[in-house]
Amino acid sequence: MPAATTAPAPLLAPGHGSGLLDVVRYRYLLKLLVRKEMRVRYRGSVMGLLWSYVKPGVQFAVFYFAMGEFLKLNESVPNFAVYLFSGIVVINFYTEAFGNATRSVVGNAPLIKKIFLPRELFTVSSAWVASIHFLPQLVVLLVACLVTGWRPLPQQLAGALLGFAIVAVLAVGLGLLFGAINVLYRDFENIVDLLLMIVTWTSPVLYDWRKVADAVGGPDSWFMTLYQLNPVTAAVELFHWAFWYPTGDVRTAEVPVVLPPHLLWSGLWGLLIALVLLALGQLVFRRIEGRFAQEL
């Protein structure tokens, strides 16, 4: 009998693949893209990955002295240094992943015009690179927590994982959405830059959530409900719960520290909103994907 022949896989037009599932299928290409981005970013750099420590360190120092020393928040928030840094690592991961994902398609125009590969790889690789820079900051945070008597419960560590998942899914979803639209209208990368400028102030990174509640009529007000539904706010508070709340100064504070109400539910709602935005971003991305090579 003649040997069986294997039919070649059919060619698919852009926008007719499996979307994010193709990222898993072509994960070897994802690793190559991540390596390429890391090499390009630190080409000619003396310090290299050490910038992952320097940048957040300078950012922390400026915010700590401005908000902690000058505005005296270190007197009303016990262990304000860990409180501040646990929020900064979340915001830094989100801003880097979202900002770079928005530019990822335009930034890889030569590849897109020459060869075919799932375009979602560029967005996911940007988030992956951001997670690589997130790890050194997390190590510094863990050291600071251990020095200050950190004793977390298992559910608090699970809360940190939930917070990371929220930010990662949200950054990829919005990166797909704005990255696709940015191919058609390059103004959107500047719009994203403006949004990322204010994200630090729209979540309780530099201040305590109670200041917001006091200003808007209490923790049960409608504004506070909307404030807590912000996925980034939920992720920041989950990191506070996991890393700041179990430290010694917080446990022994003269005035008991009160966490935001319904924190776990806020986290679950934040993850649901992030998943909805991921589905929306994938839908818009696939609709515009067929025009990438033409527009670029």
Q: What is the pLDDT of residues 99-120, one digit of tens each?
A: 999 998 888 888 888 777 888 8
Q: List Cα–Cα distances, 103 to 8, 98, 124, 181, in angstroms.
A: 34, 9, 12, 10
Q: List Cα–Cα distances, 76 to 17, 79, 158, 245, in angstroms.
A: 53, 9, 27, 14
| Core vs surface per residue 204-238: b (16+ CB within 10 A) or e | bbbbbbbebbeeeeebeeeebeebbebbbbbbbbb
**In this structure, what are the phi and psi dihedrals at residue 207, rounded to the nearest 5 degrees?**
-150, 170
Tens-of-pLDDT digits for all 296 residues of the chain? 455 454 554 555 555 567 778 888 888 888 888 888 888 777 766 666 777 777 878 888 888 888 877 877 888 888 899 999 999 999 999 999 999 999 988 888 888 887 778 888 889 999 999 999 899 899 999 999 999 889 999 999 999 999 999 999 999 999 999 999 999 888 888 999 999 989 888 889 988 888 888 888 888 888 888 898 899 999 999 999 999 999 988 888 887 888 888 888 999 999 999 999 999 999 999 898 888 877 76
Residue 68 DSSP label: I
Q: Which two tokens stand for residue 124?
A: 């996911």
Q: Which two tokens stand for residue 150?
A: 């950190």
Q: Which two tokens stand for residue 87?
A: 């929020």
3-state helix vs strand vs coil in the chain, percent to 5: 75, 0, 25
**Residues whose CB falls within 8 Å of the CB of residue 175, separated by 6 or more in sequence, listed in order:** 97, 98, 100, 101, 102, 104, 123, 126, 127, 281
Report how far residue 286's alpha carbon sits from residue 177's, in angstroms, rounded to the nearest whole number: 10
The confidence score (pLDDT) of residue 1 equals 47
